[in-house]
Every structure is written in structure tokens, then in C-alpha cells.
Chains A and B, each alone.
Chain A
């Protein structure tokens, strides 16, 4: 009976989890899907989650229709799309804007039986002039098709990734980011856990005062201390190095110290007392008892520090003055131009940036539930 109850509960739990999960997965799913879309679909009016691109199935019929329309347009010059000048490719277009020269050659055609990805160029009546993609590049092939012949088909535009990686030294940025992250996580976990122990488990005069001092440092917004902090680092000669980003983490972080202090205060004192009677030093108690007991909390601290450092934009931007030192988050921002950006590539880089964290979380989430079970000890 109880077992059946439990199964029923599990089914209900699954249903709720899946339902909510879909909602919560939306931003990430959207991110991935956008990163695989072709440019013209990224900001289409009715956004779809499935990446699609326009395709045409080339048949003899399509080609003969094209020949008819092409003859017509050539016969009446001056109308839109007159003649069959091949529309310039992206790069050629850019060059043309600079030099004002547009190439004038007759456009080749795709062969019948093919299904080709296209990009619409011009419209006249019911007909659209489309340009053919060969691989990821637009080719010079183009032809007129009836509007209905263009269909949206499932298409993953991996080009966004390859193109993004071309301009974006992912491994370099990754290395820079990881170096800062690892140092920061190590520093934060060690220093915060030590300080939290001092604030929660050692009774001494003045700890309340220190706690409030620490807490109050979080209440002043960073914008107004930014200049003096910058001056401090400048006087230390640290501008242009990673030291301003790393060293402070070895000196405690108010947020995490507070968090760990709260955790340490939920751990029964009996354990520490017993160890003390056994002659264990305070440092020993911290390292041998509190540190392992607070693993879930330390994992939270480590994870949050990692994510925070990973995504930190302003810190590296301000203190580093060499593109070769920049981190992933700055690299990501660099896809944003003055008037717009390469959104597909930006989303591709975003995805690449998020994935390591997702994987990290997936494999460490167990730590949050593997707290040492304090059976037998009651508060």
C-alpha cells in the first residue's frame, strides 16, 4: 500500500518536474536553437524553436519556369530584377560598397534533382529570385521560383560555430578564464571556510563586530568604490595583470563567509567539543571535522564562485589591458558591434560558454545531496 502510494507520488513528481522543466529549459533551448539558425530566421516574426532554413527542390519544371520568367524580365528592362546580374555574395557586397563595382556576369543554374538551400533576393509578382548556397557560402547560382516552391526545412547551421571560432580564439580565452577561475575558486573556498569557522565556531570577543563590518561591506554599491579600488590596484602595480581579479578572493568574500557561517551553525557542536576534549587543535577541528561536514555548502561556494568568475565581465575588462589576456565573457561581448552583432555567432559562443558550466553542474550536483548524514546526533 505504502509502496503504491510512493510510486504514485513519484509519478506526480515526474509530471510536475517535466512540466516545470520545460519552462525552465526554455532559455537554454532557445539559446542552442538560435545558435544553429540561419541569419534570416533568428529574428523572424514568429520565433520557432526548431532551426529551419529556406530550401527549394529543383525540378525540370522549376527550371523551365525560371527560363520563362527570366526571359520576361530581360525583355522589359527597368523593372525590378531586370536582367540576371548575380547578386553579390556577402563579402563581395562589402567590397562593392567600398569600391562601387558590382560584378556583371551571367548567373549559372543548379542542376535538376537537387534540393538546394537558398536565400531570397528579390521579388516580382509571384516570383522570387533566389540565390543558392553551396555548403556554407552563397554561390553565384540563382534562379526565379514561384513563391510556394520555397519551403522551410529543418537545417542546423553549424556555420555559426565554425565562423565564430575563426574570429574568436576560444582556447586562449578559455585558458585565461580557467586560470582565473581555478585560482579564485581555490582562494574563496579556503579563505571563506576558515573565516566562517572563526566567526561561527570560535567564541571570541569582537566576532559580532567583525561579522557586521563584513556584512556592511556588501551594502555599498561597487560603482562608488570603483575608482578608489582602481587606484589601490594601480599603486600596487597590478593593473594589466590578473592579480586584482584573483588576490581578493584569497582574503575572503563576505557573501560566502556569511553563507558558510550559517551552515556551520547548523552543525551540532557536540562533534567539535568531543574533538576538543580529544586534544584536537582548532585548526584540526576545522580541517578534520567542519571541512568535510560542510561539503555540500563548500560545493555551493565553489560552484557559485566559479560561475561568478566565469561570467564576470566588468572585472577583467577594467583590469586587463591586453587582448591576449581577455576572458570568455569579454570575447562574447566583442561580438556585439556598434549597431548590431553577429547574433548567430554570439549565441554559438554563448552556448560554448554555458556548456562547461552545465557539465560541471551535472557532475557535481550529487555533492549537494551527499551531505554527511549526521545520524545519531540530535541538536
Chain B
């Protein structure tokens, strides 16, 4: 029996993907379908879900905190993702230079990504304490008047910035991925560009960026998904306050589910978020097809 090439590659492809397919079928399909069903239910966790149609979705439109949470999340994403990517890439470029002691440097820059969250949270609360924190003492010593010293986690205007600053310390994770990607850029390309007289900036712009663009795309998409689901640090550091200024969408969703016992409503929130992320990802992936450079 012979198979057509397309059929054959289909079988091969399916075979390679079979772990994923099995995983999706066993551990994903039912929970996902169930959560969609929950979103159409009144489901107070301890009682079984009761079908109520689209009421949860209607309630969302009238809930002002949903809009606040969406606003906070988007601000965080728009500021946090690019800054994080630039810092990660910058670090990776810096650490890709062949200088002595690089192993130590790389380890040092990666350190903040592995310090347990509880420890780093305590540290940042101390550093950013408006009264006697390191940063504010520094600001006072350079002569900034008391009225302009930020209140960081206690100041609605600064709390998101404080969380973004905190997040930047973890850019070592992105750095490792960029570092790995940079290794795949053929040295010959740089050499021939140098012969052609291209400066470091041009080489970076025209060789490095395109060659690692698949990974840039990956970090962008993951950054989007991750940021829209961001909540652990905010939960620990601010609990959403002050004045809901750090009430991120996922934090609100979490509170709705586990402190208000409204799993149905939180499922509806999750599905709205799902659609939003899906659309964003789709747009990014579509645009990227023109920009990202694959060697295949």
C-alpha cells in the first residue's frame, strides 16, 4: 500500500504532535469546555453550577471595575512589554560580548529571576517605602522637595510604575532566550557586513534584529499573554490598591472567583479576556508574517 506524499506528511506530522494532541484531549478539552459552560452559569464554587444564560456577560458591561481593570492592564502592557523587551535584549547583547568573567556576569543578571517572590517582594517594599526607602532617601538627598517625592505603592499615580520597575529586575528571563537566539546568527554575516563598512548600529539593525526576530516575536506574544494574566506581584504587594490603581484584570478575576465565590462571573471574565488576547495575538502574528524572518 502506498500513500500520497501529502498523506504521508500528514501522518508524520500528527505522529510528532501526538503528545500535544493527547495532552489537549485529556487535560485541556474538558476543563476549557467546562469553564465556558461555567461562564453561562451561576457557580458559587461550593454549589453546582446553574445555567443562567448570558447574564454574567451582561453584568460585565455594567461593572465599572472591569473597565478600571482593563485600563490598568493595558497601561501595564503598553509600558511594561516594550521596556522589558528592550532591557532583556540590551542585556543579552551586552552579555554576548566575549569578555572575561562572563559566566559570573550572566549569573548575576539572571539572579533576580530566581529569587523567590516572597523575598523579592519584601525587598521592594523596603526599597520603595515612601518614608525611609532607599530610593526616596536618594531622591531627597538630591534635593527633590517632599511634595514631589513619589508615594510608590501607596500612591495611585505611581503604583503601576513601581510594579513595572519591579518587573524590570526579572528581565533576565528574556535575556537568556535572546542570548540563545544570538548564537544562531552566522558570524559570516557580521564579517561580510564589516567588510562592506557597516557600523555596529547598522549591523544590529540589519543583521541581529532580523536574525533573532522569531524569538522577538515569541517574547512579544508571550509578554502579551503573560501581562494580560499578570497578578501575583500585585496581589502580594498592593492587593489592587490604592484606589484600584493596581487592580489588574486577572487580579480582579481571581478576587471574584475566590473571595466573592463567583466562579461563573470570573469564567465569563476569563472568556472575554481570552477573546481579547486571541485577537491581539492574531494581529501580531499576521503583521509579523511580513516582518519576521524565517530561514525556511
- Chain A contacts to B: CB under 8 angstroms: 9-10, 13-14, 16-17, 20-21, 24-28, 30-31, 34, 45-47, 191, 194-195, 197-207, 210, 213-221, 223-225, 227-229, 232, 248, 250-252, 255, 257-259, 262-263, 265-269, 282, 286, 296-297, 299-300, 303-304, 307, 311, 329, 332-333, 336, 343, 346-347, 350, 353-354, 357-358, 361-362, 365-366, 368-371, 373-379
Q: Given that A27-B112, A265-B296, A286-B16 are known contacts, is A223 also in contact with B266, CB under 8 Å in the complex?
A: yes
B217 touches A262 (CB 8 A): yes
Chain B's interface size range is: 35 or more
In Å, the complex CA distance between A296 and B180 comes to 5
Q: Given that A205-B10, A304-B173 are known contacts, is A210 also in contact with B126, CB under 8 Å in the complex?
A: no
* 8 nearest A-B residue pairs (beta carbon): A198-B16, A251-B23, A371-B183, A204-B13, A379-B295, A296-B180, A225-B31, A228-B31
Query: Please, could you name 21 A-B residue pairs with CB atoms under 8 Å apart, sorted by A?
Result: A10-B97, A28-B112, A195-B17, A202-B16, A220-B271, A224-B39, A224-B263, A225-B31, A232-B26, A259-B215, A262-B217, A300-B180, A303-B176, A336-B118, A346-B119, A350-B116, A365-B107, A368-B176, A369-B179, A370-B183, A373-B187
Any A CB within 8 A of the CB of B30: yes
A194 touches B134 (CB 8 A): no
Residue of A207, A215, A265, A365 touching B17 (CB-CB under 8 A): A207
Q: Given that A221-B250, A265-B296 are known contacts, is A191 also in contact with B188, CB under 8 Å in the complex?
A: no
Any A CB within 8 A of the CB of B21: yes
B99 touches A217 (CB 8 A): no
* Interface 1/0 per residue, B7-37 and A, CB below 8 Å: 0011011111101111110111011101100
In the assembled complex, how far is the CB of residue A207 from the closest CB belonging to chain B, in whole angstroms?
Answer: 6
A262 touches B218 (CB 8 A): yes
B253 touches A223 (CB 8 A): yes
Q: Given that A21-B109, A221-B253 are known contacts, is A27 also in contact with B177, CB under 8 Å in the complex?
A: no
* Interface 1/0 per residue, B259-296 and A, CB below 8 Å: 00001001100110110011001000000000001111
In the assembled complex, how far is the CB of residue B82 from the closest CB belonging to chain A, in whole angstroms?
Answer: 19
In Å, the complex CA distance between A116 and B39 comes to 65
Main secondary structure of the interface of A (DSSP, over half): helix
Residue of A248, A258, A266 touching B211 (CB-CB under 8 A): A266
In the assembled complex, how far is the CB of residue A343 from the closest CB belonging to chain B, in whole angstroms?
Answer: 8
A25 touches B108 (CB 8 A): yes
Nearest CB in chain A to that of B8: its residue: A204
Nearest CB in chain B to that of A363: its residue: B103
Nearest CB in chain A to that of B39: its residue: A224
A224 touches B257 (CB 8 A): yes
Residue of A197, A343, A362 touching B107 (CB-CB under 8 A): A362
Nearest CB in chain B to that of A343: its residue: B122
Q: Which of B22, B28, B278 has the most CB of A within 10 A?
A: B28
A347 touches B119 (CB 8 A): yes
In the assembled complex, how far is the CB of residue A340 from the closest CB belonging to chain B, in whole angstroms?
Answer: 12
Residue of A215, A259, A354, A373 touching B114 (CB-CB under 8 A): A354
In Å, the complex CA distance between A329 and B115 comes to 12
In the assembled complex, how far is the CB of residue A242 from the closest CB belonging to chain B, in whole angstroms?
Answer: 15
Residues of A within 8 A of B117 (CB): 311
B258 touches A223 (CB 8 A): yes
Nearest CB in chain A to that of B107: its residue: A362
Residue of A197, A215, A296, A379 touching B183 (CB-CB under 8 A): A296
Any A CB within 8 A of the CB of B254: yes
In Å, the complex CA distance between A36 and B17 comes to 50
In Å, the complex CA distance between A266 and B177 comes to 14
Nearest CB in chain B to that of A25: its residue: B108
Nearest CB in chain A to that of B19: its residue: A191
* Interface 1/0 per residue, B103-143 and A, CB below 8 Å: 11111111111111111101100100000101000000000
